[in-house]
Amino acid sequence: MDRKIIHVDMDAFFASVEQLDFPELRGKPVIVGGTSSRGVAATCSYEARKFGVHSAMPIFQAKKLCPNGIYVHGRHERYEEISREIFSLLSEITDDIVKVSIDEAYLDVTNLYLSAEYIGKYIKKKVKKETGLTVSVGISYNMFLAKLASDWDKPDGFFVIKKEDVPDILKPLSIMKIHGLGKKSAEKLNNIGIYTIEELLEYDKDVLTNLLGSMGEEIYNKIRGIDLRKVASHTERKSIGTEITFAEDTDVFDEISARAYKYLHEVNEMLLKKKMLAKTIVLKIKFEDFTQVTRSKSLEVYTDDEKNFKPLLKELLGKVEYKGKVRLLGITLANLISNREKQLEIFDIIGEEDGK
Ligand code: TTP
Ligand code: MG
């Protein structure tokens, strides 16, 4: 089965945040990146792009092209804050997410029941509703094409690249659109008369490898719609737990056991809140002499239902060799995955209206 990959990229991110926070800047050419003529533009609003201004352009040059532009200093903390907010709402959709820059992320939604198109439109709406900003969404069956798609229809874009569109849809594009192909490599290709992807498709793998080194094969594959990179998450949560030291050490089994069930309840509540399922329960007991034991037990299936863990906890409590008073008790639920069905509830908030 083909994968369903979504790439999201905020529009003119720093400049849009400035326009959001300072309404008088809306609809105006805004250039972020310092007011000093020696600096470079971090980015600029789409109104400024009409004048030919772009990211990394020296400010003095931008001022020549757009003398009436509004030049402002960047406020990185504020951009980071909004970035966190956006990433947090994207993380509610799936754990298979990777943030690649302050305003950009990939999501693998292959395992969600809803279509990638539906989820993509939901993202646009949700980001707009929660932050007031627009985001461009690209959808395809791999990361390379999804990124290309998010750039297709900017700003406020929504574009899908289907398998049957490839490679025809790519042919007219400049080779500069190939993410991963650096400026130097593009120049090398230009020097032998290659400017478009259609022209590049004429060359076989060996020639590209000779020209571009190890990247040759990667580029050869990408322009044919082949990109096997996985959306590898770095943020996956492996466990949820709590542990607390007793106010007074105790060897009364009923007290220890009551405490354990109470913690299981609390941890299970956290699991539900995070919309996750767990398979394993871990009991940790520390004794008054500071020695400790950890025992764990797993279910056959993932669950978020506390009552499934209770018999396991009973067994674990019975297994421990109590060699003195208990000082600390901890309960952890481990082996976590997302609860896909629960996550689908998130989407219901928005409903079926058209997305863009
Ligand atoms: P981008 O997503 O590349 O650009 P953008 O969001 O401003 O515009 P677009 O609509 O084309 O996506 O980068 C995100 C932010 O990163 C951008 O707002 C400012 C910062 N940035 C720099 O500071 N320097 C740079 O050279 C680039 C490219 C971006
Ligand atoms: Mg962007």
**pLDDT tens digits for the chain (356 residues)?**
899 999 999 999 999 999 999 999 999 999 998 666 668 999 999 999 999 999 999 999 999 999 999 999 999 999 999 998 999 889 888 888 998 999 999 999 998 889 999 999 999 999 999 999 999 999 999 999 999 999 999 999 999 999 999 999 999 999 999 998 989 999 999 999 999 999 999 999 999 999 999 899 999 999 999 999 999 775 556 789 988 888 899 999 999 999 999 999 999 999 998 888 999 999 999 999 989 999 999 998 889 999 999 999 999 999 999 989 999 999 999 988 877 665 555 565 555 444 43
**How far apart are alpha carbons 307 and 266 in whole angstroms?**
13
Minimum CA distance residue for ligand 1 atom 5: 12
Nearest CA to ligand 1 atom 29: 42
**106 contacts 85 by C-beta, under 8 angstroms:** no
| 120 C-beta neighbours (distance < 10 Å), count | 30
The CA-atom distances, in angstroms, between 149 and each of 261, 303, 317 are: 50, 37, 54
- Please work out whether the CB of residue 86 comes within 6 Å of at least one atom of ligand 1: no
- Element (DSSP H or E) covering residue 298: strand 292-303
Please tell me if the CB atom of residue 43 comes closer than 6 angstroms to any atom of ligand 1.
Answer: yes
Radius of gyration of the chain (CA): 27
How much distance in Å is there from the Cα of 67 to the middle of ligand 2?
A: 24
**Three-state secondary structure call for residue 307:** helix
102 lines ligand 1 (CB under 6 A): yes
d(CA 105, CA 101): 7
> Could you give phi then psi for residue 315, rounded to 5 degrees?
-60, -45
Compute the distance between CA of residue 182 and CA of residue 255 in angstroms, rounded to an integer.
65
**96: which 2 tokens?**
């298979």
14 lines ligand 1 (CB under 6 A): yes
Q: Which of 80, 104, 202, 321 is catalytic?
A: 104
Give the angle subtended at the CA of 342 by the CAs of 92 and 282, to the nearest 5°.
85
Which residue's alpha carbon is at the smallest distance from atom 15 of ligand 1? 13
CA dihedral 96, 101, 105, 106 (to 10 degrees): -70
Q: Tell which atom from ligand 1 comes closest to the C-alpha of 56.
A: 26
**Helix or strand or coil: residue 236?**
coil
Q: Say how many Å lie between the CA of residue 15 and the centre of ligand 1.
A: 9
Nearest residue to 295 (alpha-carbon basis) of 251, 248, 330:
330
Residue 34: CB within 6 Å of ligand 1?
A: no
Q: Which domains does the chain have, with CATH numbers?
A: 5-11+77-164 (3.30.70.270), 14-74 (3.40.1170.60), 171-216 (1.10.150), 239-343 (3.30.1490.100)
Which ligand does the CA of 43 lie closest to? 1
Q: Are 326 and 286 a contacting pair, CB within 8 Å?
A: yes
Among 46, 47, 55, residue to substitute to test ligand 1 (most atoms within 8 Å of Cβ): 55
Q: Which atom, in ligand 1's list, is nearest to the CA of 154?
A: 10
Peptide bond preceding 23 in cis form (omega within 30 of 0): no
Distances (CA, A) of 303 to 237, 261, 274, 309: 16, 17, 13, 9
- Residue 104 known to be catalytic: yes
17 lines ligand 1 (CB under 6 A): no
Give the predicted TM-score (pTM) of the model: 0.73
For the Cβ of 53 lying below 6 angstroms from any atom of ligand 1, the answer is no
